[in-house]
Structure 1
Amino acid sequence: MHQIDPLAWAPLLAASEAEGWRMLRRLMDEWRSGANRYEQPGESLWAWFDDHGQVVAVGGLNREPAPGRAGTGRMRRFYVHPSWRGHGLARRLVNAVLASAQGHFSRLHVNCESAASAEFWTHCGFAPIAAGEPAERPARYTHARLLPQYQAA
């Protein structure tokens, strides 16, 4: 993905903000400023488009920022438009991102901000990081998955 067309992303952005999520606004702002274009080795940003060219689902992968653990990536900015939920798009995006992470990362982190999110990521093979293990738990991550080899979620 090399460009973000604001018109194609507008319905997804509006839906996310209506649900109280600011992650896609941050994605758009970081993209526009150049702060994060998902261009580092192993990074990727995936979007699912409908027949009209509108983005209906998104998910990305970034390298863990310094002083992060070497070989660690962050699954982030996953969101599916409410009218497209229940069609397996989130799972497809996760599998695409997991496949793209192979050879670049040995561990992936995700931050779950709701019980539904935690349940989804657990079903995708991510395990909760114990709050009592500060050496293993970066402050903003709740779940992790090791990648000795790719396995579909």
Structure 2
Amino acid sequence: MANLTEKDIELASRAAEHFTRLYYTAYDGATRVDDVAAFYRPTSSLTWNGNPKQGSEGVKELMLGMPPTKHEVHSFDCHPIFGNQPPSLLVTVSGTVTHGTASTVPSKSVDKQPRVFSQSFMLVPDANAPQTQAGEVAKYYIHADAMRFVG
């Protein structure tokens, strides 16, 4: 098995940055139920604050019961995983999220207040995506996702 090169690590970091930007933009968007579900496959697993969901349909179910959100990513890190080329990626993200808007949440609710979150993703290369050129970021889907409020 070959070691990861600096180029592999640089491409993985770019892929993680690209993914993070797209994912949270979709999550906070008006069409988020379908947009976020597209990041997952039927075999993907999600644990949202201790509540397990399965696949893109489980993600849709979760999103339908959730008020609008606004995420602010404070940091993310990416670790390429040996075995595939391009490698799978373990991406960890931390930041704050606000649930609800003035019109959707009662005024005495704890929502509308930013909450600190930590989220970990296992991204796997998408074999169904068009092949990438050398130096281009690979296409990934979410194989596993674990999100937890930490504050």
What TM-score results when the alignment is normalised by the length of structure 2? 0.27
Higher Rg? 2
User: Where is the helix percentage greater, Structure 1 or Structure 2?
Assistant: 1
User: Where is the strand percentage greater, Structure 1 or Structure 2?
Assistant: 2
- Kindly indicate whether structure 1 or structure 2 has the higher relative contact order, using CA contacts under 8 Å at least 6 residues apart: 2
